[in-house]
Amino acid sequence: MKTIDLETHFVTQSWVDAMYATTAYPRLADDPATGKRRLWYWPEAFEPYGDKLLNRLLDLGEGRIAEMDAGGIDKAVLSLTSPGVDHFAPEIGTRLARQINDELAAAIDKYPDRLLGFAALAPHDPDAAARELERAVKELGFKGWKTHSNLGDSYLDNKRYWPILAKAEELGVPIYLHPSAPMMDELRTYGLALAGAAFGFGIETATAMMRLVLSGAFDAFPKLTIILGHYGEGLAFLMQRIDHPFVRPHIKAADPDAVPALKRLPSEYLRDNMLVTTSGNYLPAAFTCTREALGMDKILLATDYPYEEMDECMRYLEGLGLSAGDKERLYSGNAARLGLE
């Protein structure tokens, strides 16, 4: 059965150099006391960034293909790892995004039957980012844009970024909304355990998605598709609850301006405009909740390589006891219907 992995990550040496050169956060730096390379979210929180991880991220060739073969992955969509170039100043990010997209396109050209790509963009120059997305899709053959839970100082619902949303809708390509080092002050204690993948990543990414919903972005761009990892960062669990202020008569009666004026309920936008992937969450109850809340047609295969192992993800999914039809939809059918093949 064909498998298409929607979330695998890479870096280029140009990105690594830029992440070492920046004085802002997040950034790469070697700890002066230990010499260990770390991705610093801010001075009190960091993620280990050892040679094994970095080498796997840098490998866009035979080593990556061998990992795919061993893990049972036929095709993989590659996206620049978090935090991408989203947080860089426009003059740096725009140049870097184009260079990285060209390098990814060259790697895909070597393995056209195995690799696909999501564009890197520098959203702080929205018009340039929209032009780069069009180039990446029309000239390089990329399948969408992978962005992050925050853009360094703001979230994607800010209307200055809407030209990029408009371009994605026009091109008919999805946006993969991926976690990054959180901006939220409340997550800036207890280091990686609160800020990182275990908790803070999902909290802020779910918040970023709800901000998009409540901003009216999907009323403005009704055909826009957003993909979230980790079964939607917990939003499937809240599909009934998020409608609460919009459907309770006493709230509307007390003050009709208490909630944003949307054309539909928040849950309807999530069902119609959001897809989710399996990346990095191996709890069967999470899968069951997501399938019941969103439906099997909204779930896509993703392994989160190299932060997670492809073979571990596939063993977990094979152990869920899915029917042949459900596996076909999950492993490749849903992606194919979106043009992600």
What is the per-residue pLDDT across 131-155, written as a single tens digit (0 to 9) for each?
999 999 999 999 999 999 999 999 9
Determine the average pLDDT of the residues in 214-238: 98
Determine the average pLDDT of the residues in 226-238: 97
Determine the average pLDDT of the residues in 120-136: 98
Q: Which amino acid is at 192?
A: L
**Measured distance CA(29)–CA(43) in Å, rounded:** 11
Residue 60: the pLDDT is 98
Residue 130: the pLDDT is 98
Determine the average pLDDT of the residues in 200-212: 98
Determine the average pLDDT of the residues in 244-259: 79
Cβ-Cβ contacts under 8 Å for 272 (sequence gap 6 or more):
218
**Measured distance CA(147)–CA(129) in Å, rounded:** 11
Q: How many CB atoms lie within 10 A of CB 196?
A: 21
Determine the average pLDDT of the residues in 267-278: 98
Report which of residues 95 and 254 the model is more confident about.
Answer: 95
In this structure, of 134-138, 247-251, 273-277, 322-326, the range with the lowest mean pLDDT score is 247-251
Is a pLDDT exceeding 80 seen at residue 249?
no
**Measured distance CA(295)–CA(292) in Å, rounded:** 6
Note the Cα 39 to chain centre separation in Å.
18
Model confidence band, residue 248 (pLDDT cutoffs 50, 70, 90): confident
Instruction: Provide the β-strand partners of residue 304.
Output: none
**Measured distance CA(59)–CA(106) in Å, rounded:** 13
Is a pLDDT exceeding 90 seen at residue 250?
no
Q: How many CB atoms lie within 10 A of CB 63?
A: 12
Tokens of 323: 């029917």
Residue 259: the pLDDT is 87
Determine the average pLDDT of the residues in 30-37: 92
- Contact assessment for residue 195 and residue 182, using Cβ atoms and an 8 Å cutoff: yes
Phi, psi of 148 (to 5 degrees): -135, 165
> Which string of DSSP letters, residue by residue, matches 80-108?
EPTTTTTTS-HHHHHHHHHHHHHHHHHHH
Determine the average pLDDT of the residues in 206-223: 98
What is the per-residue pLDDT across 76-92, written as a single tens digit (0 to 9) for each?
999 999 999 999 999 99
Determine the average pLDDT of the residues in 260-272: 96
> Which string of DSSP letters, residue by residue, matches 35-64?
--EEEEEETTEEEE--HHHHHHHH--SHHH
Model confidence band, residue 215 (pLDDT cutoffs 50, 70, 90): very high
Catalytic positions are 304
Note the Cα 45 to chain centre separation in Å.
21
- Contact assessment for residue 116 and residue 148, using Cβ atoms and an 8 Å cutoff: no
Question: DSSP H helical segments within 115-229, as ranges?
Answer: 126-138, 162-171, 191-195, 200-215, 217-220
Determine the average pLDDT of the residues in 120-131: 98
Residue 253: the pLDDT is 67
Task: Report whether CATH 3.20.20.140 matches the domain 4-337.
Answer: yes
Tokens of 110: 């070597």
Model confidence band, residue 252 (pLDDT cutoffs 50, 70, 90): low
| Alpha-carbon separation of residue 203 from 88, 139, 198, 305 (angstroms) | 23, 35, 10, 21
Instruction: Identify whether 90 is preceded by a cis peptide bond (ω within 30 of 0).
Output: no
- The per-residue pLDDT of the chain, averaged, comes to 96
Residue 69: the pLDDT is 98
Cβ-Cβ contacts under 8 Å for 131 (sequence gap 6 or more):
none
